[in-house]
Structures are given as C-alpha cells and as structure tokens.
Chains A and B, each alone.
Chain A
Amino acid sequence: MAMVMEEPRRRSALIIDDSRVAQMILGRLIAASGWEASRVAGGRQALAYLEREQPDVVFVDLLMPEMSGLEFLDELLRRGYRLPVVVLTADAQESTRRACRRYPIHAFLRKPARADVISKTLDSIPVAADDI
C-alpha cells in the first residue's frame, strides 16, 4: 500500500505596517526564508485577522495611524493572546524599547529590515505544539 506523505505546513507570519513599501520589503525577506507572509495595514485589521487565522509570528510596526503598535500590544494582552511578536520599528530609542516590554515580545528590531536578521529571527520562533 502506497503511503501518502503530508506536506509539512508552511510556517506563516503576519506583517502589520501602514506602509506598503515596508510590507513589501519585509514580505520578500520572509518569503525568502520559506515562510508565508500575510499583510495588513493596521492594528484593527490585524485583530480581525487573528480572530480567523493563527500565524506563527506577528511583525508589527509601532508608528501607525489609528492604532499604534503599542496600542496593538495592549489589545493583544487584553484579549489574552500569547503570540510571538516581533516589533520592527525605525524608532530604536531605549525608551521605546522599554515601552514595548508591556507585552512579552519575542524581538525588537530596527528598520530597515535586513535579510540576515529576519532569517535568524524566524529561525528562533518556537514551533507550535500542534505542529510537532
């Protein structure tokens, strides 16, 4: 009897950034690491996305209109999410880094996204228990 091998599920990342260019650059780097990338333009869209999908990691910008990245992190906490979150921001001040500690973020990275850093960060994302 032939055995049917299941394709392993491609790991997925959600990009939250109001900049289409930033989405495009990061999306390419994530795809180059063999991951799938979905993109949304803001925190509200991201929260709606998370109600129906379960990405392995979320990349979030901080400076966004309507809902900032910090407000998004607050909302994740309030709703009880425990997703790995990577903050990717141009604002690398220590005060900003400290402000992100309200949520147990996985990494705090400075824009622009660099291929080696993104690849290394994705490699460090833990595999979800139901994928093992």
Chain B
Amino acid sequence: MTSELAPEPMATDAALLEALRDGWREAQTVFQEMFPGPVSLLEPVVGITDLVELLPDTIAVGMRFEGRSPGLAALSLDCTAARALVVSLLGSGEADDAEVLSLLTDTSLELANIVLNAVLAEAGRALSETYRFEVPALMTADELAVPYGCRAYLLRGEIVCGEALPAPAQVIIRRASSGERGR
C-alpha cells in the first residue's frame, strides 16, 4: 500500500477519528463473538488519506450508506485470513476445500456487514447522524478509489487467526462522489 496517512489530522476530524477507533474496538468484540477459534483484531493506525489502494490478495467488501452525508464504507481483508475465518466457522473437522471456497465470499460479506455497521454506528453517534445502508457487495480498488478532491478515513490494522502471522485488515470510509449520490 502506498497511501499516506496524514500525520496530524485536522482538529475538526479528531472527534470522528476517535469515534472510528471506538468502532474498531466494537469490531474486535464482533470477531470474538462471531468466530469460535482464537481470532483477534490488532489496534489500527487511524488517519485521513486521499489515496486508498488495496494490497494484493485482499478481498474487499463495500457498503454504500445514505444519510445527511452519504458515502461508502469498506472492509478489506487478507484472503488467507478470510479463509482462516471460514475454517474457524466450519470447524476443522468439517472444512473441505470446496465448502471453504463456497463460503469465502459469503463470510466476507457478512463480516463486513457487521463490522462496518459497528464502525458507522460510532461515527453516526459522533456526528449525530443516522444512516440507511445498502446490501454489502464485493468491490474493486477502482470502486473504492477516493474521488478527486475528496478524502477518506482509514483504519489500518491487522487480524490474527489462530497461529497464523498477523495479516492486513483495513476499514475505509469516504463520502460519496457526486456521481454516486442519489443512485
């Protein structure tokens, strides 16, 4: 990833960034409740960027939201970590390759739904906003790209599944571009 986190976010963004941190903590709880195996989400680096890129071998799920400030939230996860999460859900005795593969997308969609809702709920509380969500969908790097002149809030952390090494996990939140509004 080449995106740069702003070292000193603007003061007006401080409350929102703190809310997003709280949302990430909520997401940590979600992971522990949802997966029977040992899964942990490590503390993220939080910041503002105008350039969002996906690492290779990541799966990204985006969810558009409507409200006073419509936008797009996304969760991207390392594919190996996503696969480990499916195996954790199925239980080691039940997990065959075909079943794991067939549930990989579905697990990522459901996980993104829960995590992004947790993060946006905190953001909404901080901004006194409520949101209506669209059904989550797999997204490409192009769809997640920050429109010219806009910024995105980025939480970049790591996920640890069982004995595996920490793998990248990030949450991206950005305002809708003018072309995306009212779709």
The answer to whether A93 touches B121, judged by C-beta atoms less than 8 angstroms apart, is: yes
State which of B106, B116, B133 has its C-beta within 8 Å of the C-beta of A21.
Answer: B106
A64 contacts the other chain (Cβ, under 8 Å)?
yes
Q: Mark A37-57, 1 if CB is under 8 A from B, else 0.
A: 000000000000000000000
Min CB gap B146→A, angstroms: 25
Q: Which of A19, A91, A95 is in CB contact (< 8 Å) with B110?
A: A19
**In whole angstroms, how far apart are the Cα atoms of A63 and B135 in the complex?**
6
Interface of A is mostly: loop
Separation of A90 and B26 alpha carbons in the complex (Å): 12
The docked-state distance in angstroms from the alpha carbon of A63 to that of B114 is: 11
In the complex, what residues of A have CB within 8 A of residue B103's CB? 20-21
Question: Shortest CB–CB separation between residue B17 and chain A, in angstroms?
Answer: 20
CB-CB under 8 A from A20, the residues of chain B are 103, 106
Chain A residues lying within 8 Å of B124, measured Cβ to Cβ, are 93
Minimal Cβ-Cβ distance residue in B for A114 = B33
Q: Which residue of A lies closest to B112 (CB)?
A: A90
Contact between chains at A91 and B30 (CB < 8 Å): no
Q: How does the 8 Å CB contact mask read for B29-56 relative to A, with 1 for contact and 0 for none?
A: 0100110000000000000000000000
Closest B residue to A94 by beta carbon equals B130
Question: For chain B, what secondary structure do more than half of its interface residues adopt (helix, strand, loop), or is it mixed?
Answer: helix
User: Which residues of A have CB within 8 Å of B133?
Assistant: 63, 91
Q: Is B87 an interface residue (CB 8 A)?
A: no
Check if B33 sits within 8 Å of A112, measured CB to CB: yes
CA distance A92 to B30 in the complex (A): 13
Least CB distance, A34 to chain B, in whole angstroms:
20
From B110, B113, B131, B133, residue with most partner A Cβ within 10 Å: B110
Cα A122 to Cα B93 in complex, Å, equals: 29
In the assembled complex, the CB of B33 is this many whole angstroms from the nearest CB of chain A, namely: 5
For A63, the chain B residues whose CB sits under 8 A away are 113, 133-136
A92 with B121, Cβ < 8 A, contacts A21-B103, A24-B89, A65-B135 known = yes
Query: Does B77 count as interface, using CB distance less than 8 angstroms?
Result: no
A22 within 8 A of B: yes
Of chain A, the residue at the smallest CB distance from B124 is A93
7 A-B Cβ contacts within 8 A?
A20-B106, A21-B107, A92-B121, A93-B131, A111-B114, A112-B30, A114-B33
Q: Return the 10 tightest CB-CB contacts between A and B, nearest first.
A: A90-B117, A112-B34, A95-B130, A19-B110, A90-B114, A21-B110, A90-B113, A21-B107, A20-B106, A21-B106
Q: A63-B135, A94-B130, A111-B117 are in contact. List 20 more A-B contacts (CB 8 A).
A: A18-B135, A19-B106, A19-B109, A19-B113, A20-B106, A21-B89, A22-B110, A24-B89, A25-B34, A25-B89, A64-B135, A65-B135, A90-B113, A90-B118, A92-B117, A92-B121, A111-B113, A112-B33, A112-B114, A114-B33
